[in-house]
Structure 1
Amino acid sequence: MTSGNTVKGPASYFPSIEQKYGRPIAEWKELIRSSPLTRHGELVTWLKTEHGLGHGHANALVAHTLAEK
């Protein structure tokens, strides 16, 4: 039996992001939305330098958040 609920794309990183950094995804997304930065690359760099996220995790959060707009 195969599951049709396999999470793909940026959201597949969410469980490990929450576990590693101790913040819920909703909180990360709110940080991204409240940032004065708007460009993908700027936001990724900001998460890495200001919040200590790895590149893949920062990229996944930014991509998923910006896709909601």
Structure 2
Amino acid sequence: MAGPVKGPASYFPSIEATYGRPVAEWQALLREQRSQNPGVRHSEQVAWLKTEHGLGHGHANALVAATRAEDDA
């Protein structure tokens, strides 16, 4: 039996409910941005989600952290 979801993924249900888009869409946007600008920093992607898409800091940070962790694995 799996335990509770921990780390950045624990924010995913709230992100989907709050912003009405699946996490996969947010991750696709982040990956597209990173492919166009490979040097973009974590903090720059968080700021972009906040200013361009209206996400709160915690939600933006969780998305960036989880996406980068998947991509870097």
What is the TM-score normalised by the length of structure 1? 0.91
1:60 partner letter: A
Within 1, Cα distance between the matches of 2:49 and 2:59? 9
Confirm or deny that 1:32 pairs with 2:34. Answer: no
**Post-superposition shift, 1:14?**
0.1
Q: In the aligned structure 2, how far is the partner of 1:14 from the partner of 1:68? A: 15
Q: Give the count of matched residue pairs.
A: 67
As a proportion of its length, which structure holds more helix?
2
Q: Which ranges of structure 2 fall in alignment gaps of 5 or more residues?
A: none
Q: Could you tell me which residue of structure 1 aligns to residue 67 of structure 2?
A: 65
Tell me the equivalent position of 1:5. 3
- d(CA) in 2 for partners of 1:18 and 1:5? 21
Structure 1 unaligned regions, length at least 5? none
User: In percent, how many aligned pairs have the same letter?
Assistant: 69
Shift of residue 12, structure 1, vs aligned partner = 0.1
Indicate yes or no: 2:67 matched with 1:47.
no
